[in-house]
Structure 1
């Protein structure tokens, strides 16, 4: 046997033993300027490598760690928000170190090994369903106890999106007695189809098939099936609820628009400019709006392309150019999307008489609550719907994210660091959900 190979075999048990020193479930906090943000990690030795996962309970997010390695009592890994290096204190058995993210303050990180939290049992079933030539792949998360259970289908926002984006929402619901079907949007993940050619009606018919999966499942209460839509999925929720072959029992949306696609695009430009930090004149706002009206009219009528091309030559050099669309053909991706998703939810919302939850971010320039909340209230009032809950989270953006910043409190510490975090929108949705449906005991 070669000496190098023999040495490697002799060292392998020692390496595995070293890795196992950090195996297990760890809980603790990121620390900065006296403030703490709870977090949890889990490390597992898999052969001769170390794997890891992380959780931020208050963010309702989790993920895999990359480049996890442990050597000389130092644990290093990379997560989506930066890199971390921790030292194993063998006296206390604790991990202490720092996490660094470009452009953000260096954070202390202190972890202690604990028992893995017990979780209510949830059963997962992989599901495959079809809509014509399109095959959709998803996961049904079910409470692992006798039913039948209320349930909902999740509806993605604009662009490609896989089921994993909404897994934590579905898991939290299933742990509390409400089943959820999450699926890869057509053309995303394991689902087939061409998303770039899909219309609002196409995406709605995908959702109809997902609802049919729930309605035919023996563990689902067919009278308690609803919808949860995020961003453009809010448009889809109102569209589907008004046309579904299966009755919809409730609708919940996160940053879902209540205005038309046409008006929403005008407001994206206006609010993006207003919150950009640049002071624009009223003439500049008016000119930017005029450009977006030309673009939307082009998408809907197919006319005016030459006039837009001429205007683009001047607009490109103006300081508000980045806030508008400057198409040079009818095949421009933005123009194509507007054309395929021409929709105004007003009439559908005027007929929506089931319980509704709508959550918004106060600093969301994509779906500004100033424009959408009054319309939603008016349309649902016209539907004589008095089971409506609307909540706006001040300072939250379109992703329901609150940026980290240093704050001061009167009669308190001189300053403290407020960690960047998500609003409690997932918690609020789950609490509303279990108050709205009847969960099987």
Structure 2
């Protein structure tokens, strides 16, 4: 589910001119802030990053943040909110080093975002963790990945390149994106907007048809030929067709059409914290949390559904996408507390 460009742009202007209240966005950061540039997971990829560290000389546990779907900057900025900036501020004040970076081909990072797959993003995350582990202020034996949404798919893949000692998933799916997560997402969002069940069924069937078409294709060029008729039959106009082709006629979609995260999740031999929002309409907690809990093997792993929170872990009673802009809170304190409480336990931090 993508928020429209108009919606995102307008909210960006409003935030820039102080028209949106985002009380959790840090105004002063009284700790170490280092601007860094580090090699990504492929030639020609240079990741523009920021590392934050507690003051002092002691070695500290540290975390790489992995963004969700779509081209994201290092703050994972959305409708005036900066969730990864808020996360890094909270974690750094709690005694952790935090590295976050612009996605390849976005912001100041180089590379080709449009040609990248989940495997490519995992290689970038692994390179970021390797950089973090080499830093003189970081305890290399106490480093981890934190992935939000799609970042929950990417972190276990990154583990195969550069092993971490723990992982955190914020609304990370346990089931395949196509068709499982997307069909539930489409249905849940449509119901939240009051659509009738007949319309919802058509939307769900379209996702299933798109999944089969993507699985049958070997290249994006094939999908540019096969997807438009499917979309036209479903009633898509030119603008909607163009938007869907940008998302699904891609190497990213071709890889995800055949990707099942369950083997990677089951193979993790490190502690994992998986947090879900009760009212998440994008990654259903009721669908994914039980599967996640069954897959995670380490005795210190924990799966929690946090009541009254949405996909961004904002407080809500509905989870509706349109509320992301309206809600002032970027990340509810209950989610931040659950995160640091678990991290302190698994990293033996004071």
> Could you tell me the TM-score, scaled by structure 1's length?
0.63
The residue number in structure 1 matching 2:66 is 155
Instruction: Check 1:314–1:393 CA distance in 2 against 1; reply closer, same or farther (3 A cut).
Output: same
Q: In the alignment, does 2:334 pair up with 1:334?
A: no
- Between Structure 1 and Structure 2, which shows a larger proportion of strand residues? 1
The answer on whether the counterparts of 1:296 and 1:335 sit within 8 Å (CA) in structure 2 is: no
The residue number in structure 2 matching 1:23 is none
Instruction: Check 1:309–1:139 CA distance in 2 against 1; reply closer, same or farther (3 A cut).
Output: closer
Gaps of at least 5 residues in structure 1 are 1-63, 68-77, 83-116, 406-418
The residue number in structure 1 matching 2:215 is 300
Superposition pairs for residues 250-399 of structure 1, below 5 Å? 250-262=166-178, 263-281=180-198, 284-302=199-217, 309-316=228-235, 327=241, 331-336=245-250, 337-342=252-257, 343-380=259-296, 383=297, 385-399=298-312
Deviations 1:193-252 (A, max 9, x none): 1211111111111111111111211211111110111111111112212x123x311111
The residue number in structure 1 matching 2:321 is none
Take 2:169 and 2:197, find their aligned partners in 1: how far apart are those partners?
A: 33
Instruction: Check 1:229–1:304 CA distance in 2 against 1; reply closer, same or farther (3 A cut).
Output: closer
The residue number in structure 2 matching 1:429 is 339
By how many angstroms is 1:289 displaced?
A: 2.6
Structure showing greater relative contact order (alpha-carbon pairs closer than 8 Å, 6 or more residues apart): 2
| SS of residue paired to 1:206 | helix
By how many angstroms is 1:261 displaced?
A: 1.4
Instruction: Check 1:214–1:305 CA distance in 2 against 1; reply closer, same or farther (3 A cut).
Output: closer
CA RMSD of aligned residues (A): 3.2
Take 2:100 and 2:52, find their aligned partners in 1: how far apart are those partners?
A: 8
Take 1:178 and 1:190, find their aligned partners in 2: how far apart are those partners?
A: 25
Q: 1:128 aligns with which of 37, 45, 51?
A: 37
Instruction: Check 1:365–1:330 CA distance in 2 against 1; reply closer, same or farther (3 A cut).
Output: closer
Aligned length: 307
Take 2:271 and 2:173, find their aligned partners in 1: how far apart are those partners?
A: 17
> Could you tell me the TM-score, scaled by structure 2's length?
0.78
The answer on whether the counterparts of 2:71 and 2:103 sit within 8 Å (CA) in structure 1 is: yes
The answer on whether the counterparts of 1:294 and 1:308 sit within 8 Å (CA) in structure 2 is: no
Gaps of at least 5 residues in structure 2 are 1-13, 76-81, 319-326
The residue number in structure 2 matching 1:240 is 158
Take 2:244 and 2:186, find their aligned partners in 1: how far apart are those partners?
A: 20
Take 1:188 and 1:326, find their aligned partners in 2: how far apart are those partners?
A: 23
Take 2:114 and 2:101, find their aligned partners in 1: how far apart are those partners?
A: 18
Instruction: Check 1:143–1:311 CA distance in 2 against 1; reply closer, same or farther (3 A cut).
Output: closer
Take 1:351 and 1:264, find their aligned partners in 2: how far apart are those partners?
A: 21
The answer on whether the counterparts of 1:232 and 1:257 sit within 8 Å (CA) in structure 2 is: yes
Instruction: Check 1:118–1:194 CA distance in 2 against 1; reply closer, same or farther (3 A cut).
Output: closer
The answer on whether the counterparts of 1:298 and 1:335 sit within 8 Å (CA) in structure 2 is: no
By how many angstroms is 1:151 displaced?
A: 0.7
Take 1:386 and 1:280, find their aligned partners in 2: how far apart are those partners?
A: 42
Take 1:258 and 1:248, find their aligned partners in 2: how far apart are those partners?
A: 19
Larger Rg: 1
- Between Structure 1 and Structure 2, which shows a larger proportion of helix residues? 2
Instruction: Check 1:145–1:364 CA distance in 2 against 1; reply closer, same or farther (3 A cut).
Output: same
The residue number in structure 2 matching 1:181 is 99
